[in-house]
Amino acid sequence: MFKHVFGPVPSRRLGISLGVDLVLPKSCNMNCIFCECGATKKLTLKRERFKDPEEIKEEIKEVLKKIKPDYITFSGSGEPTLSKDIGEIIDWIKEHTDVKVCVITNGLLLDDSVVVNEIKNADLIIPTLNSVDNMIFKKINRPSVSSDVLQIMAGLKNLSEKYLGEIYLESFIIEGLNDSDEHTEKMVKFLKNIKFTKLQLNSLDRVGTEKWVKATSQEILRRIKDKYVELGIENVEIISEMKEIDEKIDIDQELIKNMKEKREYKEEELKKIYNI
Ligand code: SF4
């Protein structure tokens, strides 16, 4: 029985991605208004062991006998860097498999060099920066009162100086909060000082925690992208819909059930990659 792995999920940016959930639902150091896994039950800043790492490794071994994902991705029911075992499990995957590793993180712990050192062997890190304005950051990400956006910015700087792999920086756009040209100008001032592979503009794809949060129109996303390019940040892309793949994957029903427990997937979305 699989408890910690799910999918492979239809990922709009990673192809076939096997999810690994290192935390218990839902443990996070933020409670984002757009989160697709629902409201944070355990808002915590404390790193800890949530699960037995040996059980997780066993499950990864088992699943890889059945499928060959493009990435093993740490995401799921909360913030993966809260797990003290993330480094050990990444290193184990790199040593025992030939699958690339991705860490999706809200970036709040990246100012801690211990955390950056633990995830340094991942092939790809996707941190999020939705705003450099503390008020807007707090409205969107709703971290604990002691956290602010300067910590995220320091973390991204720390990551970009110490990490040698690819960084896809994600910015989640919400109309009326972080979609103005003035906001993009402030982001650019900061982003010019850090190193990243590309900036990805994201928008709501499923149901968010706060029902009033809606998908941002393509028109607005294109305007923001154009503004970034005009101001000198050229490696910007809008995350598009999941493309249908030619050779559909036979999926284990248990893994698909685990996946659906994390997020609401639409039937047509699943049919793009699975034989179901
Ligand atoms: S989107 Fe990520 S950082 Fe935000 S609440 Fe959900 S799991 Fe936590």
Q: Ligand 1 center to residue 276 CA distance, Å?
A: 29
Residue for token pair 């493309």: 243
Tell me, using a 6 A CB cutoff, whether residue 224 lines ligand 1.
Answer: no
> Number of folded domains in the chain?
1
pLDDT at 158 (0 to 100)? 98
Q: Ligand 1 center to residue 65 CA distance, Å?
A: 30
Q: Ligand 1: which of 23, 30, 104, 137 to mutate, most ligand atoms within 8 Å of CB?
A: 30
Residue count (the chain)? 276
% residues pLDDT > 70 (the chain): 99
Predicted confidence (pLDDT) per residue in 138-183, tens digit: 999 999 889 999 999 999 999 999 999 999 999 999 999 999 999 9
Burial bucket for residue 167 (CB in 10 Å: 0-12, 13-18, 19+) = buried
pLDDT at 128 (0 to 100)? 98
Tell me, using a 6 A CB cutoff, whether residue 35 lines ligand 1.
Answer: yes
Cβ-proximal residues to 67 (8 Å cutoff; 6+ apart), any chain: 8, 16, 18, 249, 251
Angle at alpha carbon of residue 141, lines to 164 and 118, rounded to 5°: 30
| Domain ranges, residue 261 | 5-272
Is residue 2 pLDDT above 70, yes or no?
yes
Q: Ligand 1 center to residue 163 CA distance, Å?
A: 22
Nearest residue (CA) to ligand 1, atom 7? 78
Tell me, using a 6 A CB cutoff, whether residue 136 lines ligand 1.
Answer: no
Q: Ligand 1 center to residue 136 CA distance, Å?
A: 16
pLDDT at 244 (0 to 100)? 72
Burial bucket for residue 114 (CB in 10 Å: 0-12, 13-18, 19+) = exposed
The residue type of 180 is S
Residues linked to residue 96 through DSSP beta bridges, in sequence order: none
Is residue 47 pLDDT above 90, yes or no?
yes
Predicted confidence (pLDDT) per residue in 203-250, tens digit: 998 878 999 999 999 999 999 999 999 999 999 999 977 667 777 777
Tell me, using a 6 A CB cutoff, whether residue 78 lines ligand 1.
Answer: yes
CB atoms within 10 A of CB 192: 10
Tell me, using a 6 A CB cutoff, whether residue 79 lines ligand 1.
Answer: yes
Q: Ligand 1 center to residue 82 CA distance, Å?
A: 12
Helices 181-191 and 218-230 pack at an angle, to 10 degrees, of 50
Is residue 48 pLDDT above 70, yes or no?
yes
Q: What b-and-e string marks burial along 33-55, b requiring 16 or more CB atoms within 10 Å of the CB?
A: bbbebbebebbbeebeebbebee
CATH at 52: 3.20.20.70
Tell me, using a 6 A CB cutoff, whether residue 28 lines ligand 1.
Answer: yes
Question: What's the pTM?
Answer: 0.92
Q: Ligand 1: which of 22, 29, 35 to mutate, most ligand atoms within 8 Å of CB?
A: 35
Q: Ligand 1 center to residue 57 CA distance, Å?
A: 24
Is residue 190 pLDDT above 70, yes or no?
yes
Q: Give the H/E segment covering residue 257.
A: helix 253-262
Tell me, using a 6 A CB cutoff, whether residue 32 lines ligand 1.
Answer: yes
Q: Which ligand 1 atom sits nearest the alpha carbon of residue 28?
A: 8
